[in-house]
Amino acid sequence: MKVILEIPDNEAVFGMKVLKSLSFINNAKPLSPAAIGLWEDLKQAASEVRLHKEGKIQLKTAQQLLDEL
């Protein structure tokens, strides 16, 4: 299983030491700024799709997106 944790910057060094000291943690590494940006964009997109499926928002059509270009 993969888990993403948010650790405050001032506790990040300690948090990483704790995670790496646990025998059942296979890989603990911080995300790059680009990966963080991508992750936030994906969360936003998933939220918008969920809201659209619930009928709470209307998404643009492909034609509307092309017209903006």
**In-domain check, residue 1:** no
Q: Are 15 and 9 in contact (CB under 8 A)?
A: no
**In-domain check, residue 2:** no
Distance CA 15, CA 12 (A): 5
Q: How much of the chain, in percent, has pLDDT values that exceed 90?
A: 94
pLDDT for the residue 61: 92
Q: What is the mean pLDDT of residues 51-56?
A: 97
With a threshold of 0.95, does the pTM exceed it?
no
pLDDT for the residue 6: 93
Q: What is the mean pLDDT of the chain?
A: 94
**In-domain check, residue 41:** yes
Report DSSP state, residue 13: H
Instruction: Specify the number of domains making up the chain.
Output: 1
pLDDT for the residue 27: 92
**In-domain check, residue 16:** yes
Q: Are 12 and 30 in contact (CB under 8 A)?
A: yes
pLDDT for the residue 21: 96
